[in-house]
Amino acid sequence: MNIQAEIKQRVAVRRQDIIQFMRDICAIPSMESMIGPVGERIQQEMRTLGYDEARFDLMGNTIGRIGNGPKVLVYDSHIDTVGVGDKETWPWDPFVGKVEEGVLYARGACDEKGSTPGMIYGLSIARDLGLLKDYTVYYFGNMEEWCDGIAPNAFVDVDPKVRPDFVVIGEPTRMNVYRGHKGRIELKVTASGRSAHAAVHYLGDNAVYKMISIINSIRELDRRFRFGMGSHPVLGHASVVVTDAAVRTNSLNAVPDQFTIFLDRRITLNESHDEVIDLIKGLIPDYLRDEIKVEELYYDTPSYTGFVFPLPKYFPAWLAEEKHPLVRAGQGTIEDLWGEPRPLGTWEFSTNGTYWAGKAGIPSIGFGPGDEKDAHSPTEHVSLDDVVTATEFYAYLPYKLQQRA
């Protein structure tokens, strides 16, 4: 049997089913981690395709399983999306979307519902061709936009309490294999002062003014990163940016007694957790050390099911070795199916790989349709041909991995 040809033929037969499934799941809003309705639709498809298990986990993510083999392979696709902002900026319904010249424009089309149809159909095709006999394979449709890495952490530690041998992350990779990305940490910096009436403001101690030099230092630190300080040869340079601010004041006629800024700090493999925090603390002048504090943020917001899984908002960088069997299997899958070598890549943004590979050390790669630069925009889109063709990759990879591992 020519496995590649058989996979291509079976994918071609299911082309319209795959596209309709994609349209269906994009049409179901799944913002703010509210992935229950879209999860129901996905589970319906898995049951139709004969999955051994299709259910919600305790957090409210969707789990599909085929087989009970000794090797565990997880296909990770987050099915939540960011919001749509002002709907007036969208020339079409952001969820139903539109198809133009074979491209679907819709919220979540690229980030990241586009990998779900291929994963689900690909695994069922692999099963039908006998390519999963030594595997337990999972489709994991999860919430990631609210806190990357929290869903896979719960997958390993809580439900189903399974540690995979390999993970494929379906974030957009332009149909290439990606092998890592920078990490990040979310911090807040709080300056404390003393309130006073604005008419006699000199009797107070303005917390906003204390932060001005810190903000300028953060801006200068980011400039130094961009000019190469601590740069990694593959992942590139680190960064830091002020993303939000909050002031506490008694009124518009009072001196603020507290001012907080929030930072997004992108991390390379050259930096440890403590070094990252100490670098920000080092920007505080000695005479303000008692009045300005740096803290790591925590995530403890309940999911839509009420499930709480508290975590620090620290997401490590990760990078798979080029010669790792999973990376080589991914590259070999592309060459076997499509007859061409393609360059390995890395993401600019963050993914669930921060947990799978960054924290848990589980071998991981990325492969998915779409381009990350199109994510989160009113023109978010994905090629439907790529959505269908990705199915071939997801079906063939387990076979290729058996040869490499």
Catalytic positions, written as ranges:
80, 144
CA 190 – CA 292 distance, rounded (Å): 5
Give the closest residue to 136 by CA, choosing from 51, 37, 202, 201: 51
Q: Are 203 and 398 in contact (CB under 8 A)?
A: no
CA 205 – CA 196 distance, rounded (Å): 8
- Residue 311 main-chain phi, psi, to 5 deg: -145, 145
Q: Are 371 and 172 in contact (CB under 8 A)?
A: yes
Rounded to an integer, what is the distance from CA 235 to the centroid of its chain?
16
For tokens 């990759």, what's the residue?
393
Q: Are 238 and 217 in contact (CB under 8 A)?
A: no
CA 403 – CA 278 distance, rounded (Å): 45
DSSP-derived 3-state class of residue 113:
helix
CA 178 – CA 170 distance, rounded (Å): 10
**Number of other residues whose CB lies within 10 A of the CB of residue 212:** 12
| Tokens found for residue 327 | 């990376």
Q: Are 46 and 117 in contact (CB under 8 A)?
A: no
What Rg, from alpha-carbon coordinates, does the chain have?
23
Say which residues have a Cβ less than 8 Å from residue 339's Cβ, sequence separation at least 6. Answer: none
CA 259 – CA 121 distance, rounded (Å): 51
Find the helix packing angle between 36-48 and 116-128, rounded to 10°. 20
